[in-house]
Structure 1
Amino acid sequence: MKFNLFLLLLATLLAVGSPQGISYRFQVQEGNSNRFWVATGKQIGLRENFGDWWIALTGDQKNYKISHSKSGLVVTYVAGKALSLTSNSPLSQFQLWQFFPPNLEHLDPIVSIRTSNFKDEYAFPGPIGVYIFACNSTTNSTVSHPIWKFKSHVPTSTP
Structure 2
Amino acid sequence: MATLTQCAPESLQAQSVAEVVLALGSNYQAERYLPLARESLAALGEVKLSTAFQNPDFTATTQLPKPDYTNQCVYLVLTTPMSLQQLQQTFKTLEGDCNRRRQTEPKQVRRVTMDIDILMVKLATIENSLSGYSIFKSISDWIVMADRYPFKAHEEAGVKELILTKL
Query: TM-score, normalised to structure 1's length?
Result: 0.26
Decide which structure has the larger Cα Rg and report it: 1
Query: TM-score, normalised to structure 2's length?
Result: 0.25
Bigger RCO (CA 8 Å, 6+ sep): 2
Say which structure is richer in helix.
2
Say which structure is richer in strand.
1
